[in-house]
Structure 1
Amino acid sequence: MKRILVPTDFSEQAENALKVAAQLAKKHDCEIYLLHILEIPLQEVDPISSYSSLPEAVFFMKLAHQKFEKLKDKKYLDGLIIHEIVDFHEIFKGIFQTCKKHHIDLIIMGSNGVSGLREMLIGSNTEKVVRTSETPVLVIKNEHKTFNVNDFVFASDFKDESKKTYEKALKFAKTLGAKIHLLMVITPAKFITTNDAQNRIENFANSFDFSNYTMNIYNDISIEKGIMNFSKTLNADLIGMSTHGRQGISHFFNGSISEDLVNHAKRPVITFKI
């Protein structure tokens, strides 16, 4: 892990993410890429000209630069290499292109989460990034004066398609020196016996050369609630899981547990795209 991307709108939530990024960067000798996206309506753009030539764009770029300079003066960023980027895209597209261009290893985002009708209709920028990002996304909800991950819950159905994402989770856990708690949540709608669940988790875990883990089966009314309730009993520092990156009508009907967790969990959540 050498390059961390922190998208920012200069809000308190975004700064909470930056504070976590700063702690990780100092511990693991990383560079931080601070990205601010200017979402200018396409209908205002002359096809012959570029975004950056618009008077509005010039004004907001200068304003963003001033905010960057103020932010980079924060004491918790002392001694770190900070790259400043202003771009013109939809947020999740801008993040995707920045990750590709700069070979980003981890995205850290702040989020309030949303609920109810607003969530169903428009979702959140963080949710869209979680759904589409090929790069692992760490979502921070609160300020963490000390961000240590000792207990890392990795929730899964432990099928073969999750092995690639678990490899990424293992790499992250090893970097942080965390213990992984493998978790399968059993619900009435997706019931399997305890014996079958144990065998599936054990066979999955034996595919990897990693011994600092526990195996856990938890019963609840939904997978999302089971993950949050188990993590609460453990007082876990981090929740991790795979995301399928569903789009459109498939996403509407099937939903995404990882996106629900990003919106509703109070603990940090990290997602790895299958």
Structure 2
Amino acid sequence: MKKILVPTDFSEQAENALKVAAQLAKKHNCEIHLLHIIEIPMHKVDALSSYNNLPEAVYFMKLAHKQFEELKAKEYLKGLVIHEHVDLHEIFKGIFQTCKKYSIDLVVMGSNGVSGLREMLIGSNTEKVVRTSETPVLVIKNSHDKFNVNDFVFASDFKDESKSSYKKAIDFAKVLDAKIHLLMVNTPNKFITSAKANKRMNKFVEEFKFSNYVTNIYNDLSIEKGIMNFSKSINADLIGMSTHGRQGISHFFNGSISEDLVNHAKRPVITFKV
């Protein structure tokens, strides 16, 4: 992990994410890329003109750069390599393109729940960023003076299509020196016996050379509640899960699970694209 992207609207929630990113950057010698997205309706932009000729763009870009200078002067960012970017895109497109252009390893975003960042993490933007990002997305819900991850819950249905995201979770756990708690949630509508669940989980992990994990089967009324209640029961520091674009993962993360967790979980959540 060498490059961390922090999208910001200069709110308190975005700064919570930046503080976590700064801690990770200092521990692992990473660079931080700050990104501010200016959302200007595209019908206002002449296809043949430069964005710089648009008065609104000029004003907001100058304002953003001024706010960047104030932000970069913060004590917790001293000694770090900080890059600033201002872009005119839809939020999820701007994040996607910045990740691709600069080979970003991790996106760290702030949210305070359903109300979230009004310009960053609500409604369809949450789904588009969290569920479609090719880069792992870490969503920070609160202020963390010390962001230490000892216990990392990775929830899955443990089918083969989730193996690529679990590999990413392992890599992240190694960086943080965290123990992974593999979690399968059993619900009344999608119930399987403990014997079958254990067999599936054991087969799932057998090809990975990673031993710092335990397996868990947890019964609850819904997958979302099961993940949150289990995580609370072990006082987990982080919740991780797979995402699969717009289609979700068959029989498990179908549609809204990742978005619901980002909105409702009180703990940090990280998502890995399959």
- Specify the TM-score bucket, using the shorter chain as the normaliser: over 0.9
- 1:103-154 superposed Cα distances (whole Å, 9 cap, x missing partner): 0000000012227xx9xxx715333201210000000000000000000000
Question: How many pairs align?
Answer: 266
Match of 2:62? 62
Partner of 1:170: 170
Corresponding residue number in structure 2 for 1:256: 256
Q: Which residue of 2 aligns with 1:6?
A: 6
Unaligned runs of 5+ residues in structure 2 are: none
The RMSD of aligned alpha carbons is 1.8
Superposed displacement of residue 169, structure 1: 0.2
Q: Is the Cα contact below 8 Å between 1:109 and 1:126 reproduced in 2? A: no
Name the CA distance, whole Å, in 2 between partners of 1:143 and 1:134.
Answer: 26
The question of whether the paired residues in 1 share the 8 Å contact of 2:261 and 2:269 is answered with: yes
Structure 1 Cα separation of the partners of residues 203 and 137 of structure 2: 27
Instruction: Report the residue type matching 1:267 in the other structure.
Output: R
Q: By how many angstroms is 1:257 displaced?
A: 1.2
How far apart in 2 are the matches of 1:124 and 1:234? Answer: 31
Match of 1:238 in 2: 238
Cα pair 1:151 1:237 within 8 Å, conserved: yes
Does the 8 A contact of 2:180 with 2:214 survive in 1? yes
1:185 is paired with a residue whose SS is strand
1:21 corresponds in structure 2 to 21
CA contact (8 A) 2:150 2:178 kept: yes
Which residue number corresponds to residue 38 of structure 2? 38
Percent sequence identity over matched residues?
A: 79
Match for 1:216: what amino acid?
A: N
Residues 92-112 of structure 1 deviation map (CA, whole Å, 9 limit, x = unaligned): 000000000000000000012
- Distance of 2:210 and 2:168 partners within structure 1: 13
Deviation at 1:247, TM superposition (A): 6.0
Correspondence list, 1:186-265, <5 A = 186-246=186-246, 254-265=254-265
Q: In structure 2, do the counterparts of structure 1 residues 271 and 184 end up closer, same or farther at CA, with 3 Å as the change threshold? A: same
CA contact (8 A) 1:186 1:192 kept: yes
Q: CA deviation at 1:52?
A: 1.9
Decide whether the 8 Å contact of 2:247 with 2:255 is kept in 1: no
Q: Which runs of 5+ in 1 are unaligned?
A: none
Task: Give the equivalent residue in structure 1 for 2:153.
Answer: 153
- C-alpha contact (below 8 Å) 1:111/1:126 kept by paired residues: no
Q: CA deviation at 1:258?
A: 1.4
Residue aligned with 2:15, SS: helix
Amino acid in structure 2 at the alignment position of 1:217: I
The DSSP-based 3-state class of the residue aligned with 1:172 is: helix
* Larger CA deviation: 218-227 vs 197-206: 197-206
Decide whether the 8 Å contact of 2:131 with 2:271 is kept in 1. Answer: no
Pair 17,124 (structure 1): closer, same or farther in 2 beyond 3 Å: farther
SS in 2 for 1:245: coil
Is the 8 Å Cα contact of residues 108 and 140 (structure 2) preserved in structure 1? yes
Q: Letter of the 2:152 partner, please give it.
A: F
> Structure 1: which amino acid aligns with 2:82?
I
Matches of 1:11 and 1:89, distance apart in 2: 19
8 Å contact from structure 1 (residues 114, 124) kept in 2: no
Q: Which amino acid aligns with 2:187?
A: T
Q: Which range moves more in the overlay, 176-185 or 239-248? A: 239-248
Counterpart AA for 1:181? H
Contact 1:127–1:262 (CA under 8 A) maintained in structure 2? no
The amino acid that maps onto 1:238 is L
Q: What is the TM-score normalised by the length of structure 2? A: 0.94
Post-superposition shift, 1:245? Answer: 1.2
Distance in 1 of aligned mates of 2:28 and 2:239: 21
> What corresponds to 2:269 in structure 1?
269
Q: Secondary structure at the match of 1:266?
A: coil
Q: Which amino acid aligns with 2:190?
A: K
Structure 1 counterpart of 2:133, which letter? S
Residues in 1 aligned to 2:128 and 2:144: alpha-carbon distance in whole angstroms: 24
For residues 256 and 206 of structure 2, what CA distance do their matches in structure 1 show? 27
The equivalent residue for 1:108 is 108
Instruction: Name the counterpart of 2:181.
Output: 181
